[in-house]
Amino acid sequence: MYSDADVLAVMRAARELRGLRSHTYTTLIGLLACTGMRVGEAIALDSDDVDLADDVLTIRRGKFGKSREVALHLTTRDALKTYARARDRFFRGRSKADSFFVSHAGTRLIYNNVQLTFSRLLADAAVGDLSRRPRLHDLRHTFAVRTLTDWYRAKADIEKRLPVLSTYLGHVSPASTYWYLSTTPELMGLAAQRLERALGTLP
Q: Are residues 118 and 164 in the same domain?
A: no
Kindly provide the residue ranges of all beta strands, DSSP E only, lying in the chain, ordered along the sequence: 50-51, 56-59, 68-71
pLDDT at 45: 96
3-state secondary structure of 104: coil
89 annotated active-site: no
Please indicate whether residue 137 is annotated as part of the active site: yes
Tell me, yes or no, whether 32 and 104 share the same domain: yes
Is 115 in the same domain as 142? no
Pair 147, 115 in one domain: no
Mean per-residue pLDDT of the chain: 85
Overall domain count for the chain: 2
Arithmetic mean of pLDDT, 71-91: 95
Whole domain around residue 165: which residue ranges? 138-200
**Residue range 148-177, pLDDT digits in tens:** 888 878 888 877 888 888 888 887 777 666
Q: Is the pLDDT of residue 197 over 70?
A: no
Do 80 and 101 belong to one domain? yes
* Catalytic residue, candidates 137, 153, 155, 194: 137
Residue (of 178, 176, 184) closest to 62 by Cα position: 176
Angle at 136 between CA 134 and CA 141, to 5 degrees: 80
Residue 133 lies in a domain: no
Is 196 a member of any domain? Answer: yes
63 is catalytic: yes
Of 84, 100, 125, the position where a domain reaches its end is 125
| pTM assigned to the model | 0.84
Active site annotation includes 171 = yes
Is 90 inside any structural domain?
Answer: yes
**Residue in 12, 63, 120, 197 annotated catalytic:** 63
CA dihedral 46, 61, 142, 194 (to 10 degrees): 130
Same domain for 9 and 66, yes or no, is yes
Same domain for 166 and 112?
no
169 within a domain of the structure (yes/no): yes
- From 77, 108, 141, 171, the catalytic residue: 171
